[in-house]
A and B are shown apart, each in its own frame.
Chain A
Amino acid sequence: MSLEVRDLVVDIGGRRVVDGVSFDVPDGARLGIIGESGSGKSLTALALLGLLPDDATATGSIRWHGREILGLADRELAALRGAELGIVFQEPQTALNPIRTVGRQIIAAPRIHERLPRRDRRARAIAEAERVRLPDPARLIDRYPHQLSGGQRQRVAIAVALAAHPRLLVADEPTTALDVTIQAEILDLLRALVTDAGMSLVFITHDLAVLSQIATSAIVLEHGRVVEAGPVAQLLSSPRSPVTQGLLRDATATLWRPAPGPGTGGGA
């Protein structure tokens, strides 16, 4: 088992936002964490990398290949982050430094973890940009985030997270801020990257339709508690909890609701 989370509890300012969450992610597995906003899924994601805000306290256990992450010193966490654990955020606009070229942001992790020498950096940045299928990578790495499209930015953010070849990728709603067509491309890309590298994936979303395209199993969160867990196929065919049933209704609604206005019939 590569990642084991047991009874994770996160408090922020006296409020319990994650309340005893447990799950396992075997090597190469793709786990989805789904829930409505405020269900504690994003904080769970941050906790996996020890990135919780200063005023948050976490108890329980997060083990990465048997090693306890919770309560690890900053220096030891920094050695793990990027090298073994990577994260992609929801909003690529804010997850990239606006005044640093894309290439320099991509090679941040390899510079630290592999002590990548200066002369190799450019080639590495191009290679990593190619890996996430960015067009014309040799020129693109010299651009700034505001010169790219939303989909390109998210690809850059993925390249940043994967540049040092971590073994677990945490993706926190990475497609929510994107257009529907680009959502599908990013999901395809993530699935291909994760499968090719044999990485594990923790994918956080509020959208069961998105979840079904990328995860094999999932846990459903409500008010910081796990209310349902199992293979995605099972959640889709026979949802037991009201939360999952609600999410399923939302997902089918976006899939089948006819587009408003004259002309085209089907949405999505």
Chain B
Amino acid sequence: MTSANAVPRTSWLRRLWSLPTGAFGIVVVAVLLTTALVSLFWTPFDPRSADVAGRWAAPGWPHLLGTDATGRDLLSLLMAGARTTVLVAVGAGVLATVVGLALAALGALTSRWVRESVAVLVDILIAFPVLIIAMMISAVWGGSLWVVVWAVGIGFGVSIARVSRPELRRVLHSEFVVAARAAGLTPFQILVRHLLPNVAPVFIVQLSWGMAVAVLAEAGLSYLGVGAPVTDASWGVLLADLQRYLTVYPLTVIAPGLAITLTVLGFNLLGDGLREATDPTLSPRTGSARRARTHVPEVVS
């Protein structure tokens, strides 16, 4: 702990945990990841095995959340569906990051003609709604999870680029970047130390929103029958399935509906929390920072 940059690094996770939004987000994402992981090795029942005799079992023992029309265990189906959700959220998130940062960098750091062209391209692309594109793709090539990942990934990559680019331009022209050049930093060092950290807050919020939409889009597209194939475990497929019997067994849709809602909310709040926790000017929550604020008058130099 002797280096000057060791101290503030460790505290942002703690700061995130201390925020209600951050704590909620962490818990939701942790539960989701754990569930997806556990479902790889163990679920209470085989999510695919039908049991016609035990169909429409009420929540209780041994089927904690009950069973569906073919006697499949709902809890097991939900757990297996979490895998799909994680896959889509992470896949779309990674793709959106790559596409978004690449487009933002091209649109902000290159020569004038390139960056203006990229800006126009982004403005055009952003006019296409993600879900419509996903439906068009899957209508032509058939539904699969990858359609969702690609559609949401590229769609949100574009909108990340849209909001990151002006931010990047603003930071690029700020005096501290000139000061960093004056200290002898190379363009790459300036990018890593000054540009990206200052763009991160905007970027994180967009990314978390993108991942939330990916979850929603997967569920929505699967519900519409153009996402995950019906043989795959997916919250959207499950919801579509159960919804057909809504008038007879209305309570069964609560569990998958709640799972989708909480996950989307969790991603969003995690993004909000992350933004606040990583920006020292937004939340000076550490004791020393607060003391510095109250005890050092502005005029004392």
Contact = CB atoms under 8 A, between A and B. Distances in A.
Nearest to A151: B301
Interface residues of A, number: 62
Given A78-B185, A81-B182, A155-B301, A97 B176 contact: yes
Interface stretch (B138-146, B257-265, B290-298): B290-298
Interface stretch (B122-130, B193-201, B234-242): B193-201
Contacts of A181: 299
Nearest to A150: B298
Contacts of A198: none
Nearest to B174: A94
Give the secondary structure class of A's interface: helix
A195 interface: no
A149 interface: yes
Given A101-B8, A164-B184, A149 B299 contact: yes
A112 B279 contact: no
Interface in B270-301: 278-281, 284, 288-289, 292-293, 296-301
Contacts of B175: 89, 91, 94-95
B301 A121 contact: no
B278 to A, nearest CB: 8
Nearest to B180: A108
Nearest to B189: A112
Nearest to B290: A147
Contacts of A40: none
B184 A112 contact: yes
A98 B199 CA distance: 12
Nearest to A170: B182
A112 B190 CA distance: 12
A104 B288 CA distance: 17
Interface string A131-158: 0000000010111101111111011010
A154 B293 CA distance: 18
B179 A89 contact: yes
Nearest to B296: A149
A97 B198 contact: yes
A144 B184 contact: no
Contact of A100 (B7, B193, B299): B193
Contact of A78 (B186, B198, B279, B296): B186
A155 B300 CA distance: 12
Nearest to B6: A122
B5 interface: yes
A152 B126 CA distance: 45
A144 B194 contact: no
Contacts of B296: 147-149, 152
B298 A89 contact: no
Nearest to A101: B8
Which of A91, A94, A97, A118 has the most C-beta atoms of chain B within 10 angstroms of its own C-beta?
A97
Nearest to A185: B301
B299 A108 contact: no
Contact of A149 (B181, B182, B185, B297): B297
Interface in B52-84: none
Interface string A87-120: 1010100111111110110011100110000110
A147 B284 contact: yes
B13 to A, nearest CB: 16
A196 interface: no
A10 interface: no
Given A96-B176, A143-B292, A160 B183 contact: yes
B301 A82 contact: no
Contacts of B3: 118-119, 121-122
A119 B301 CA distance: 29
B301 A149 contact: yes
Interface of B: 2-5, 7-8, 174-176, 178-187, 189, 193-194, 197-198, 278-281, 284, 288-289, 292-293, 296-301
* Interchain residue pairs A-B with the least CB separation, the first 5: A151-B301, A82-B184, A103-B4, A82-B183, A109-B183
Given A144-B281, A185-B301, 12 more contacts: A51-B178, A82-B182, A95-B176, A96-B176, A97-B180, A97-B194, A99-B281, A103-B4, A108-B180, A146-B281, A148-B292, A154-B301
